[in-house]
Structure 1
């Protein structure tokens, strides 16, 4: 789950389990929680059980690795879209151990571990200061408050690639002194029935930060809300003013698209494999 992901910045997604606990503003309207409940899975919250998977599920990345080796093209695996690998629960330790072994057994796959708990990463990974070169570690930074809390923790991790996901972007984020520790920035607006509009100026400022520091920039989507350039506004279901004063229109993420100032930003990390 799932080969050929629809997420623009990854090739596949893999979930060692489902379920998590909300911990910051980005989690408020969590798509993963909504999706799991729609499927009848009650796996969210501190007291809820997590959903685990069969060995067949765990064998899928082995097949992806063989394909990547055969084709000579590395594949990116987002882990985990329906959980947080670094959630502080002892009943997850066995699954984590399986995950570390799987990562080591699939060197043609780059594993993108995105967490809201970068402070816990070192206590769970088994690699000390010598991480496998196919591990990328990222953290969510939805506004300046959470960027300031999480980026120092992220910067201390010895991964080949360190990245942030500023999505959904809920406030301005300045990279500041942590820019030199980042290899990639992903950002985007929120989607879903309760989506909050992001200010276009927040995205532009983050792009400028990335350009100044030569950090690859990936704009994933506007989300449900768009500033409306080039869009048939007759399709807008709602209008609202963003924090920076921009008039935003609720048109749905498909219509809103992913062009920022007329361009598509699909930056990826530049990696020295030597």
Structure 2
């Protein structure tokens, strides 16, 4: 996927949201162990890769999700993180989406030139239930980041973020059910309540997938295929686009890049009913859709 950068792989389970980790499941299917943590060889410098003409493969304005098979603030990755920050520093024209459960480690892991935050980096914290939301979101709000968001996934318990939205710091809330072995149910009432809070605050809300076990109007639906989960999330009509995120992207000389020069996502046929469309990087033209 052209919107994912995994500078390292593998993780240590951290809270109840990790119990049925999708990365562990997928690694097991490949006869690997998700607890094995290693720096990726070909992928570490992905945002800096160039084509045969000397142009960056990742275009100015693209959004890259970082460490989707690990945690960017994983202690075991401390020796590699500063080099990963350096990659982001070299691409101030690209948006980097960071996601962590280890929010209490963030401040000590920032680069020395961080200041009040970099304009091209968004920090998102995972809040799988109300307990974790109340633990982690206050720390997120105290950190020096230009862009902040919340990921309620796997959505395994009702979550209210109304009080935190009042801070005005949160720019998006994403939620989705749990997948694969042992998936716990996601209740549509939780999704509706969370969406209502975001809509009231004019904050973008994205319901990306129902999860394998989905409860709606008291009835339980089993949906093992992720494409169906995404389509059902889309059809629910829950996605809401709030106030725009003001990314200030610049070139390596510090000059602001005009919007006309930035990457504009385009979408394929399978994207039309995808729950993740409002927050994704668009089609990669891989040809797998047929």
Q: TM-score, normalised by structure 1?
A: 0.79
Q: Does 1:66 align with 2:56?
A: yes
Q: Distance in 1 between matches of 2:243 and 2:145?
A: 13
Higher relative contact order (CA 8 A, sep 6+): 2
* Mapped partners of 2:181, 2:241: distance in 1: 29
Residue 117 of structure 1 is matched in structure 2 by: 102
Aligned-residue offset at 1:30: 0.1
1:164 — aligned with what? Answer: 150
Report the number of matched residues. Answer: 239
* Matched residue SS, 2:200: helix
SS in 2 for 1:186: strand
Match in the other structure for 1:184:
172
Contact 1:175/1:209 (<8 A) preserved: yes
- Distance change in 2, residues 1:110/1:192 (3 Å): same
In structure 2, the residue matched to 1:57 is 43
Mapped pair 1:21 → 2:12 = yes
State the partner residue of 1:214.
Answer: 202
Structure 2, unaligned runs of 5 or more: 249-290
The question of 1:251 aligning with 2:220 is answered no
User: 2:148–2:171: 8 Å Cα contact kept in structure 1?
Assistant: yes
Which residue in 1 is equivalent to 2:252?
A: none
CA distance in 2, matches of 1:268, 1:34: 34
User: Once the 2 structures are TM-superposed, how far is the Cα of residue 261 of structure 1 from its aligned partner?
Assistant: 6.6
Q: Is the 8 A contact 2:177 2:209 kept in 1?
A: yes
Equivalence map 1:21-170=2 (5 Å)? 21-44=12-35, 49-54=36-41, 56-63=42-49, 66-67=56-57, 69=59, 74-89=61-76, 92-126=77-111, 127-170=113-156
TM (norm. structure 2) is 0.75
The question of whether the paired residues in 2 share the 8 Å contact of 1:200 and 1:246 is answered with: no
What corresponds to 2:251 in structure 1? none
- Unpaired segments of 5 or more residues in structure 1? 4-11, 229-244
